[in-house]
Chain A
């Protein structure tokens, strides 16, 4: 089959690879109908997560049709259209029982790497390096989905493929940020990053009753999407003093909840960006935490900061003083897909969570490398590049 593979830093290629096989009784094989370039892939592409091999298949936000099911699968049948959680969960361990699905104990087949890095291993993820199990990703004609009864969900007929596919990662991730960031009715919420993840976090905050939601980015076309499709307020951090403006919009208190949806390649205006980039290049820090710093600085006393952006290692100039002296709650997580996906599919089918506008570029999988170029460099109004295998 054809697959979009990692060939080296900033090098992608569509090549022929063997078709995936059922390996465990709970597996299904999907014929992929839609598969999306996510901001997380950029960290792999840029070499910031070094556990990649030439030939690894990328992709973890996807939707497809079941073409084969293992003998232990009870919830899916051949022909079903399903969306799949990007993190893989067993559904049975203690972490899964607490709905911390991305912390699953039984789905990362290479646990030692992340145990050495972080003390404990998170669960496995599709197409996300050998540190998270080395599972072949979804940028291919077919994909194997382990524990399919736990992580795959039937898609309501009301939703098109291009709408529903985002539930697999960005919608569920954004919702988690607002939910676990504890957005309450009446809150002022600020979201850093107007990519699909930040947009979906902002929409979730509105649905959870926030009074004001402000999304921060520098790309005008993304901020316009936020205003038009989500009905939230926006701020361009290159045009305004974010800290002053956020105080202005929260009666001087600072936002109750700050959600960071930028990640370890954050950009910042001014000399600090150079400092962070040099340190990252020299491997003195692995990640650039610009937006996290801003979020912690902006948050109201006793407020909460939720980090959705992916970080891999260590950061510099972490404002610990603000965390302690303002009494903040700082939390982060990889997405706990099965906790939210069924509820989100219902909401999406009712029209509560618009996603169609995110699919700015729908391309055949053969044009994957071009799709990533558009997405990475934010060209041509790209928010998400969606690939159609076999097209």
Chain B
């Protein structure tokens, strides 16, 4: 992930941003300047084993996959560094759960934890 702020603001004195620091030794993080004045590249990887195969499907559907937690933390980190805030969805909701929107609700409830980040 690339963040549009200089490295010394991403990790002043080597201290990681709060949301990433909270993972402790569970993640390995690299912070390096991005080329062409694009700010800072942050690469984070989970150290321990992650669910795979059938366990992965279950973990991702139930929202317990650690990669989802990490992706969400990365997205929050970028937004906090760049804007000082994390955008919340609009509300209160104008929709209600129904059998036909169950799939979409599942998708959106995981949508910050999934993706290509």
Which positions 109-135 of chain A face chain B at CB distance < 8 Å? 109-113, 115-116, 119-121, 124, 130, 133-135
- Asked if A112 contacts B89 (CB within 8 A), the reply is no
Q: Answer whether residue B53 sits at the interface, using C-beta atoms and an 8 A cutoff.
A: no
Which positions 74-117 of chain B face chain A at CB distance < 8 Å? 75, 78-79, 82-96, 98, 100-101, 104-105, 107-108, 110-117
Q: Answer whether residue B66 sits at the interface, using C-beta atoms and an 8 A cutoff.
A: no
Main secondary structure of the interface of A (DSSP, over half): loop
Q: Report the separation of the CA atoms of residues A130 and B101 in the bound assembly, to the nearest whole angstrom.
A: 11
Residues on the A chain within 8 Å of B110, using CB: 112
Q: Report the separation of the CA atoms of residues A207 and B114 in the bound assembly, to the nearest whole angstrom.
A: 44
Residue of A nearest to B95 (CB): A55
- Asked if B95 contacts A56 (CB within 8 A), the reply is yes
Residue of A nearest to B37 (CB): A94
Q: Answer whether residue B38 sits at the interface, using C-beta atoms and an 8 A cutoff.
A: yes
Residue of A nearest to B113 (CB): A112
Q: Answer whether residue A21 sits at the interface, using C-beta atoms and an 8 A cutoff.
A: yes
Main secondary structure of the interface of B (DSSP, over half): loop
Q: Report the separation of the CA atoms of residues A72 and B85 in the bound assembly, to the nearest whole angstrom.
A: 10
Q: From the candidates A90, A109, A133, name the one contacting B82 in the complex (CB within 8 A).
A: A90
Interface segment among A22-30, A224-232, A275-283: the answer is A22-30
Q: Report the separation of the CA atoms of residues A163 and B90 in the bound assembly, to the nearest whole angstrom.
A: 28
Q: Report the separation of the CA atoms of residues A116 and B78 in the bound assembly, to the nearest whole angstrom.
A: 20
Q: Report the separation of the CA atoms of residues A91 and B2 in the bound assembly, to the nearest whole angstrom.
A: 16
Chain A residues at the B interface, C-beta cutoff of 8 Å: 3, 5, 17-18, 20-21, 23-26, 51, 53-57, 72, 90-94, 97, 105-107, 109-113, 115-116, 119-121, 124, 130, 133-136, 144, 146-147
